[in-house]
Amino acid sequence: MEVDLTDEQWAVIEPHLSAPERKASCGPRGGGSFRDARGVMNGVLWVLRTGAPWADLPRRYPPHQTCHRRFQRWVEDGTLKHLLHVIAQDLRERGKLDLTEAFIDGTHAGAKKGALMLGETAAARRPRSWQWQTAWSSSRRWDCLWSAT
């Protein structure tokens, strides 16, 4: 399932992406070929959406090293944070964003039934020394003998 940026979405964010600096010519081959920002952004979004490792990026996107390097640069220089604000503003202006009710995180972890009681019984089950256990069993024997007479 291919879910890349539409032309409308790209038109909103393209002006806010700076062109990457081209590497200086190092040796006879020179710098690498320039990868367009739209393809890189689609690759970054694919990794973020799927949670897959960068190395698993499909071949229809630029090399995973390029996408990862540009993603890191966009995070460090604040480009991605700025893009989130731009996208939110665009959605707000078009009436597609309603923040009257919002959830930051919908996950929760329920406590085990009787969690407090389990903590108390664990303390009660502490291992006892052999002297205490011997004295306790001896006293039980004396109680049995005493009550028998």
**pLDDT for the residue 60:** 94
pLDDT for position 128: 58
81-126 confidence digits (pLDDT tens): 999 999 988 888 988 888 787 777 767 667 666 655 555 555 555 5
Distance between CA atoms of residues 149 and 145, nearest Å: 7
DSSP character string of 68-85: HHHHHHHHHTTHHHHHHH
Extract the tokens encoding 36. Answer: 């367009």
Domain ranges of the chain: 37-98
Count of all residues that appear for the chain in the document: 149
CA gap 8, 92 in Å, rounded: 15
24-60 pLDDT per residue, tens = 555 555 556 678 899 999 999 999 999 999 999 999 9
Threshold 0.85, pTM exceeds: no
> Is the CB of residue 57 less than 8 Å from the CB of residue 43?
yes
Band the pLDDT of 19: cuts 50, 70, 90. Answer: low
Q: Is the confidence at residue 144, as pLDDT, over 50?
A: no
